[in-house]
A = this chain, B = another copy of it.
């Protein structure tokens, strides 16, 4: 109903130029030498009428939107929603707003999202990249769009990135299983070449090799987790080799695994040990609670925002790309135990 008031209306009402109003509203009053009296007058009036500048116009002119785009695999996943929460908090403190998107691990969808948000002139991207996204990432890079990858990265592309030490955290988790006496430890993971899955698998294979144990890996395609995960895990459990522990590469695979174990009436940890990569709020509700590798989400978020803002603030400079690796740690519950 009430027509929006513009900077022009304010200038007219106060009988001054729009330039002056703009300068004052942007705190440049001192800098350019406007009188305190006028400064106060404008500030008082704009506050009084509750003036809000048109951000579209502002962005069009300045080329900045103060919006950062955060692309995660699935915003409903506890790991990603937790990162989202922290990143939003930190970005807000620095005057930025966050806009989300879920990639669902679909390269085409992700590519579209990137294009969409680029069209919307976001000031930077934080992305947990899917596979086959190299072209889009290189494209952003070549256009000098501020960008931080997290959770995963491309070994062949030089980007700012923040990831957990997937290799090492997996190594240590499996090592604990081995120390507890487990021998036939199976690794259930995604059929994926994404770096994080690659490194988790690498850590598993390495530690198994070091201890002279035979690895056993079950891979499941992301798209068919809903349909096939249970079947495949069941198959895994019905081979000749009696699996005595399961390590799941992601928390949602763990959930699937638990569904199977329930179906098959296999008791944890009596019949089988279980560890999940990535925690989940419901893991503590199971009997026993499910042990999980957890990532230092707060720390990662800090690093992510820090790296991105460095790029946004010093866009012109040629800055060395920074690659940050943070340690993961085990949240030990009772889904594994000393084997007699």
A262 touches which of B1, B97, B100, B285 (Cβ 8 Å): B285
> Contact flags (1/0) for A49-60 with B, using CB distance below 8 Å?
000101111011
A121 touches which of B55, B255, B285, B286 (Cβ 8 Å): B55
Across the interface, do B255 and A285 meet the contact criterion of CB distance under 8 Å? yes
A75 / chain B contacts, CB cutoff of 8 Å: 75-76, 81, 100
Is there a chain B Cβ closer than 8 Å to A143's Cβ? Answer: yes
Give the distance in Å from the alpha carbon of A71 to the alpha carbon of B100 in the complex. Answer: 13
Is there a chain B Cβ closer than 8 Å to A281's Cβ? Answer: yes
Is there a chain B Cβ closer than 8 Å to A259's Cβ? Answer: yes
Interface hits, A242-282 → B, CB 8 Å = 255, 258-259, 262, 281-282
Task: Identify the interface centre among A59, A142, A258, A287: most chain B CB within 10 Å of its CB.
Answer: A59
The residue in chain B whose Cβ has the minimal distance to the Cβ of A76 is B81
Stoichiometry, as copies per complex, reads: 2
Interface hits, A47-82 → B, CB 8 Å = 52, 54-57, 59-60, 65, 75-76, 78, 81
A1 touches which of B59, B119, B142, B286 (Cβ 8 Å): B142
A142 / chain B contacts, CB cutoff of 8 Å: 1
A319 / chain B contacts, CB cutoff of 8 Å: none
Is there a chain B Cβ closer than 8 Å to A116's Cβ? Answer: yes
A13 / chain B contacts, CB cutoff of 8 Å: none
Give the distance in Å from the alpha carbon of A78 to the alpha carbon of B81 in the complex. Answer: 12
Interface range, A side: 20 to 34
In the assembled complex, how far is the CB of residue A5 from the closest CB belonging to chain B, in whole angstroms? Answer: 13
A314 / chain B contacts, CB cutoff of 8 Å: none
> Contact flags (1/0) for A91-116 with B, using CB distance below 8 Å?
00000010110000000000000001
Is there a chain B Cβ closer than 8 Å to A284's Cβ? Answer: yes
A284 / chain B contacts, CB cutoff of 8 Å: 259
In the assembled complex, how far is the CB of residue A282 from the closest CB belonging to chain B, in whole angstroms? Answer: 5
Is there a chain B Cβ closer than 8 Å to A144's Cβ? Answer: yes
Using A54-B60, A75-B76, A258-B285 as known contacts, say yes or no to A116 and B143 having CB atoms under 8 A apart: no
In the assembled complex, how far is the CB of residue A87 from the closest CB belonging to chain B, in whole angstroms? Answer: 13
A340 / chain B contacts, CB cutoff of 8 Å: none
In the assembled complex, how far is the CB of residue A238 from the closest CB belonging to chain B, in whole angstroms? Answer: 20
Give the distance in Å from the alpha carbon of A60 to the alpha carbon of B75 in the complex. Answer: 31
A259 / chain B contacts, CB cutoff of 8 Å: 284-285
Query: Can you name 9 A-B pairs with beta carbons within 8 Å?
Result: A1-B142, A1-B144, A55-B120, A56-B65, A56-B120, A56-B121, A75-B81, A262-B287, A282-B285
Q: A99-B99, A262-B287 are in contact. List 20 more A-B contacts (CB 8 A).
A: A1-B144, A2-B143, A52-B119, A54-B60, A54-B121, A55-B120, A55-B121, A56-B56, A56-B65, A56-B120, A56-B121, A60-B60, A75-B75, A75-B100, A76-B76, A76-B78, A258-B285, A259-B284, A262-B285, A282-B285
Q: Which residues of A are interface residues toward B (Cβ below 8 A)?
A: 1-2, 52, 54-57, 59-60, 65, 75-76, 78, 81, 97, 99-100, 116, 119-121, 142-144, 255, 258-259, 262, 281-282, 284-287
- Listed from nearest, the 8 A-B pairs whose CB atoms lie closest are A76-B81, A56-B60, A282-B282, A56-B59, A76-B76, A55-B119, A57-B60, A259-B285
